[in-house]
Structure 1
Amino acid sequence: MSLEPVISIQNLNFYYGQGVLKKQILFDINLEINAGEIVIMTGPSGSGKTTLLTLIGSLRSLQEGSMKILGQELLGATKTKMVEIRRNIGYIFQAHNLLGSLTAKQNVQMPLELHSQFSYHEASLRAEAILSEVGLGERVNYYPDNLSGGQKQRVAIARALVSHPKLVLADEPTAALDSKSGRDVVNLMQTLAKEQGCTILMVTHDNRILDIADRIVHMEDGYLAKDAALALIPAH
Structure 2
Amino acid sequence: MRPFLLDQAALASTQNAVEPVVKAEGVNHYFGEGSLRKQVLFDINFVLQPGEIVLLTGPSGSGKTTLLTLLGALRSVQEGSLRVLGQELRGAQPNTLIQIRRQVGYIFQAHNLLRSLTAAQNVRMALELHNGLSAQEAQERAEAMLAAVGLEDRVHYYPEQLSGGQKQRVAIARALVSHPKLVLADEPTAALDSKSGREVVTLMEKLAREQGCTILMVTHDNRILDIADRVLHMEDGRLESQPLA
TM-score in terms of structure 2 length: 0.93
Q: Structure 1 unaligned runs (5+)?
A: 232-236
Q: Does 1:108 align with 2:123?
A: yes
Cross-structure match for 2:64: 49
Partner of 2:7: none
Q: CA deviation at 1:49?
A: 0.3
2:222 corresponds in structure 1 to: 207
SS where residue 217 of structure 2 aligns? strand
Provide the C-alpha distance between the structure 1 equivalents of 2:143 and 2:34, rounded to a whole number of angstroms.
Answer: 51
Q: Distance in 2 between matches of 1:229 and 1:223?
A: 16
Give the 3-state SS of the residue equivalent to 1:139 in structure 2.
coil
User: Structure 1 CA distance, aligned partners of 2:33 and 2:94?
Assistant: 22
Letter paired with 2:31: Y
Structure 1: which 4+ aligned runs deviate by more than 2 Å? none
Residue 242 of structure 2 corresponds to 228
Question: 1:230 deviation in Å?
Answer: 2.3
Name 1:166's counterpart in structure 2: 181
Match in the other structure for 1:131: 146
**What is residue 20 of structure 2 aligned with on the other side?**
5
Output the TM-score relative to the length of structure 1: 0.96
**Which string of whole-angstrom CA distances, capped at 9 and with x for unpartnered residues, describes residues 180-214 of structure 1?**
00000000000000000000000000111111000
Structure 2 residue corresponding to 1:88, chosen from 100, 103, 127: 103
2:113 corresponds to which of 98, 108, 113: 98
1:60-99 mapped onto 2 (5 Å cutoff): 60-99=75-114
Could you say which residue in structure 1 is the equivalent of 2:5?
Answer: none
Shift of residue 120 of structure 1? 1.0
CA RMSD of aligned residues (A): 1.0
Distance 1:118 1:214 in 2: 34
Q: Identity rate of aligned residues, in percent?
A: 70
Secondary structure (helix, strand or coil) at the match of 2:215 reads strand
SS of structure 1 residue aligned to 2:208:
helix
SS in 2 for 1:59: coil
1:10-67 Cα offsets, whole Å, 9 max, x none, are 0000000011110000000001010000000000001000000000010000000000
SS at match of 2:153: helix
| Corresponding residue of 1:234 | none
User: For residues 213 and 91 of structure 1, what CA distance do their matches in structure 2 show?
Assistant: 18
Aligned residues: 230
Q: Name which of 137, 147, 168 aligns with 1:153.
A: 168
CA distance in 2, matches of 1:207, 1:131: 28
Instruction: Determine the C-alpha separation between the residues in 2 that align with 1:110 and 1:123.
Output: 9
2:94 and 2:148 map into 1 onto residues whose CA distance is 34
Q: Distance in 2 between matches of 1:117 and 1:39?
A: 33
- Aligned equivalents of 2:134, 2:40: Cα separation in 1: 43
- For residues 192 and 122 of structure 1, what CA distance do their matches in structure 2 show? 20
Q: How big is the shift at 1:99?
A: 0.2
Letter in 2 for 1:105: A
